[in-house]
Amino acid sequence: MDYSQIKAFLAGPLEEVSALLEASLKSDIALLDATNLSLLSQGGKRIRPCLTLLAAGACGGVVADSVRFAAASELIHNATLLHDDVVDGAATRRGKPTVMALLSSPASVLIGDFWLVKAIRCLLEADRYSERAIRLFAKTLSDLAEGEMLQLQKASACDTTREDYIRIIYSKTASLFEASVLSGALSADAPEEWTAALAGYARNLGIAFQIQDDILDYAGGADLGKPVGIDLREQKITLPLLCALDSVPEEAASAVRAKVGRISDEPELAADVQRFVREHDGVDKARAEMGNYIDEAVFCLEELPQTEEKSYLANLARFVGDRTF
């Protein structure tokens, strides 16, 4: 199933989310308003709002609070991207110049802060469960900060383990997937067993999503919107490299890690590390592990009653493994 079919199924509530996003971000500061409208026009996949709406539908139905929580998830996601661009010094995103490149780093931080505040306002305006929703997304923001700091620490030392890697990608990606899904379930008054099942689904899906991003950084994709090999240039050790390192003796693995640690000063070493990953089937092994997470995500859904939304949640998990952007 194509992802566009999922968005078509959710067309009505997604239009409500888009209207709420535009209304929330309206400003009488011309530069801010124009920048916000430009960012909104770029769209993006809007996977997180789709997850919120599908989870709500699978648990009884989409209501006004489902739309508010879906909008909040998208606002938070884009706020973190605006901040990430500054952290990473990124000149482009999705093939377009970043706010940081067009305006400045301070502007990107300030606009990101503006989007975060508007997300909180969406949560505060919920008819019910506002405090519980705020707690969900507050945990995510804490996870995001901790994940970024752990990644910086590990990139500096080049000693990332599998345990470190899973914690980093849970914190940076899966945590927001989890909050998006759980807020949808919350809006629909889901019983505890459904909520637990959806939490497991979201965690596994988010981890698989980030693994695919990390695979694409080695293998490339149809429309990445960024150069291949960024992770290595930033000395990040991700799953394709970890899988390759597992297949060689410790001494050889240490030598490869040492090369990663010198890439910032000797960028030509990145090609050596990429060749090492290819020669030891790192990408294929990472794909196999990603498939296990996708299978587990779909398995978690068995607790839910059979609905169209449940089927679309399963299809969305499979889309994550097939996507090339």
Q: What is the pLDDT of residue 122?
A: 98
> What is the predicted pLDDT for the residue at 90?
84
Q: What single DSSP character describes residue 262? A: H
Predicted confidence pLDDT, tens digits, the chain (325 residues): 688 999 999 999 999 999 999 999 999 999 999 999 999 998 788 999 999 999 999 999 999 999 999 999 999 999 999 999 998 888 888 778 999 999 999 999 999 999 999 999 999 999 999 999 999 999 999 999 999 999 999 999 999 999 999 999 999 999 999 999 999 999 999 999 999 999 999 999 999 999 999 999 998 754 545 566 888 989 999 999 999 999 999 999 999 999 999 998 999 999 999 999 999 999 999 999 999 999 999 999 999 999 999 999 999 999 988 876 6
User: Which amino acid appears at position 50 of this protein?
Assistant: C
Domains and CATH numbers, the chain: 3-322 (1.10.600.10)
C-alpha dist (Å) from residue 230 to 26, 89, 209: 34, 11, 17
At 222 the pLDDT is 47
Long-range contacts of 17-25 (CB under 8 A, 24+ apart): 17/46, 17/49, 17/53, 17/67, 17/70, 17/71, 17/74, 20/67, 20/68, 20/71, 20/122, 21/71, 21/74, 21/75, 24/71, 24/75, 24/118, 24/121, 24/122, 25/114, 25/115, 25/118
The alpha carbon dihedral of 323, 179, 122, 304 has a sign of: positive
* Token digits of residue 311: 């089927």
- The whole-number pLDDT of residue 42 equals 86
